[in-house]
């Protein structure tokens, strides 16, 4: 059930418990309560505060961001399915982190709830292979002024999102090593928790700036990028090569570096992805290459990729978005990429074997 109450929407979830989603919309695509296209005081609605946020994905990346937003006082609703919705509504969310723990009640809905309102910001934090379903799920919640912020691996999702939501899509990325425990807790185990947001070329960056302002008083490293596509490609270049080698050799950075040829294979993979990124118009700097190479070849390091963790657990993996896509781009530019080629073949064998079990 949806109703209006003091400029807020009240939505009854699947358990019958009512919760409030603060919104300054009176309905999808309409203006401010009382009519008109702007606030009564003439200020843009995004200037100085984030009004309400919908996050699709309560796993590591989305769950961590959601916890920190709620810690800062921003209203957050999670869009999930089945057992996850029930768990979130009944048990809430718990975050453990070296930068401070957080625990609290959360509000979760399903796509079937479909309230007559639009969120101001929709964050996509799903796996890339779930993107088509995610687009369908969030569509009812995206109004004329809603911004869509993807925090997915790779870059293939951007074109599809822009096609689905023209002028609404922002760029975003997360540098964080985080997992979800068996009981659904968000577990952050190191000192890396860096999120970057930005407008696409020619776009308005007020939403990213307000989002970063909202996170300014809680422990998270959040920033606005004036060149978000460059940063997304820099991450893609790194993660693609690193994920390819870790999934191929089935080990952490330290385990691979301890072998006779592991560090060289890692360097070769990163050189391959750097050549491809440059051919695509996104060259990476020497400083970036030095940093990611050092991180990827550090002896004793337990650093792994989410791709390897998914493969080790027997789950569906993002091999196509991280390795397959990069290899296809290499072929379009006639760039030799033997390490990526071998890794992608192994990942395809893994997926075919996994689906037959």
Which residues are annotated as catalytic? 235
How far, CA to CA in Å, does 70 sit from each of 55, 75, 243, 305? Answer: 12, 6, 32, 28
Closest alpha carbon to 179 in 194, 168, 164, 190: 190
Cα–Cα dist 337/320, whole Å: 15
Strands (E), the chain: 2-5, 8-12, 18-22, 53-56, 76-79, 93-96, 102-104, 107-109, 119-124, 142-150, 170-180, 186-199, 221-224
**Half-sphere CA count of 206, side-chain side, radius 13 A:** 13
How far, CA to CA in Å, does 223 sit from each of 74, 176, 203? Answer: 17, 14, 17
Contact 51, 45 (CB under 8 A): yes
DSSP character string of 48-87: S----EEEE--SHHHHHHHHHHHHTT--EEEE--HHHHHH
Q: What is the sign, positive or negative, of the torsion defined by CA atoms of 342, 348, 352, 357?
A: positive
What region, left, alpha or beta, does residue 159 occupy, with left being phi > 0 and alpha being psi -120 to 50 degrees?
alpha
DSSP 343: H
How far, CA to CA in Å, does 65 sit from each of 179, 218, 321? Answer: 13, 11, 22
């Amino acid at each position: 059930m949806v109703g209006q109450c003091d400029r807020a929407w009240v939505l009854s979830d699947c358990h019958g418990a009512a919760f409030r989603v603060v919104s300054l919309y009176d309905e999808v695509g309409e203006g401010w309560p009382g009519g008109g296209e702007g606030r009564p005081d003439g200020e843009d609605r995004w200037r100085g505060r984030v009004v309400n946020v919908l996050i699709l994905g309560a796993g590591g990346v989305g769950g961590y961001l959601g916890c920190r937003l709620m810690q800062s006082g921003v209203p957050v609703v999670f869009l999930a399915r089945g057992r996850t919705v029930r768990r979130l509504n009944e048990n809430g969310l718990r975050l453990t982190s070296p930068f401070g723990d957080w625990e609290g009640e959360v509000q979760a809905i399903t796509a079937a709830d479909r309230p007559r309102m639009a969120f101001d910001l929709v964050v996509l934090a799903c796996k890339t292979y779930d993107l088509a379903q995610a687009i369908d799920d969030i569509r009812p919640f995206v109004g004329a002024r809603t911004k869509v912020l993807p925090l997915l691996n790779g870059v293939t999702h951007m074109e599809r999102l822009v096609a689905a939501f023209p002028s609404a899509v922002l760029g975003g990325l997360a540098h964080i090593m985080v997992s979800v425990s068996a009981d659904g807790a968000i577990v952050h185990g190191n000192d890396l928790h860096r999120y970057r947001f930005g407008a696409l070329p020619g776009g308005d960056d007020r939403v990213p700036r307000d989002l970063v302002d909202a996170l300014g008083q809680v422990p998270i490293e959040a920033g606005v990028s004036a060149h978000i596509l460059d940063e997304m490609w820099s991450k893609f270049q790194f993660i693609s090569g690193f994920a390819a080698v870790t999934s191929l050799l089935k080990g952490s950075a330290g385990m691979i570096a301890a072998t006779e040829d592991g560090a060289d294979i890692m360097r070769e993979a990163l050189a391959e992805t750097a050549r491809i990124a440059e051919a695509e118009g996104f060259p990476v700097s020497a400083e970036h290459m030095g940093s990611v190479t050092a991180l990827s070849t550090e002896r004793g390091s337990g650093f792994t990729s989410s791709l390897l963790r998914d493969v080790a657990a027997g789950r569906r993996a993002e091999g196509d978005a991280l390795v397959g896509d990069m290899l296809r781009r290499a072929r379009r530019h006639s760039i030799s990429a033997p390490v990526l080629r071998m890794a992608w073949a192994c990942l395809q064998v893994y997926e075919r074997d996994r689906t037959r079990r």
